[in-house]
């Protein structure tokens, strides 16, 4: 229960719930404000949620979202429709090894500022959309998300679906 926490001045929120394997729910309360947070990396890494309510999160100032849900082995579905992603530069490994993840909608992702694709390939240029390793090891992902990138470079999708053994079609 973090309902009494005033989070309005936080810049770093990364790994806040990471590795909290027994966490069943998060009670946010009226003081929960992430409008200034720049770093959401690893926020839910290795938690056991099947679904996560992200409706309280204001991501409009975010820069880092890498490994945000990495190793969330029970995560089956996630709604990112409220996420503002125009300021993010790194979303690599965001869902890596979420072995029960079945479907993700990235339709609202505006990724024009992505510059860091993380641990597989480092891109020194700016303004290139990259998704490397984003779904690596998601063995139950049957439907690939539509890929929002419009500016591509070599390897920008490298390892994105590596080990996704349930995929029956290529992403569009």
pLDDT digits (tens, 9 = 90+) for 3-58: 888 899 999 999 999 999 998 888 888 889 999 999 999 999 999 999 888 888 99
**Rounded mean pLDDT of 149-166?**
69
pLDDT-derived band at 89 (thresholds 50, 70, 90) equals confident
* Radius of gyration (C-alpha) of the chain in whole angstroms: 15
Q: Residue 47 in contact with residue 17, Cβ under 8 Å?
A: yes
Half-sphere exposure of 62 (CA within 13 A, CB side): 27
Could you identify the residue written with the tokens 């990259």? 130
């Amino acid at each position: 229960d973090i309902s009494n926490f005033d989070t309005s001045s936080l810049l770093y929120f990364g790994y806040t719930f990471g590795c909290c394997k027994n966490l069943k729910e998060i009670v946010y309360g009226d003081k929960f404000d992430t409008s200034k947070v720049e770093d959401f990396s690893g926020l839910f890494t290795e938690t056991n949620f099947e679904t996560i309510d992200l409706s309280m999160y204001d991501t409009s100032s975010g820069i880092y979202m890498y490994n945000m849900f990495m190793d969330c082995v029970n995560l089956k579905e996630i709604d990112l429709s409220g996420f503002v992603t125009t300021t993010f530069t790194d979303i690599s490994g965001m869902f890596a090894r979420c072995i029960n993840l079945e479907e993700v909608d990235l339709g609202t992702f505006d990724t024009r500022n992505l510059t860091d694709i993380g641990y597989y390939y480092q891109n020194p240029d700016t303004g290139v959309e990259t998704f490397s390793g984003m779904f690596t090891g998601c063995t139950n992902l049957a439907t690939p998300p539509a890929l929002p990138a419009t500016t591509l470079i070599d390897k920008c999708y490298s390892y994105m679906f590596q080990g996704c053994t349930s995929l029956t079609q290529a992403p569009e």
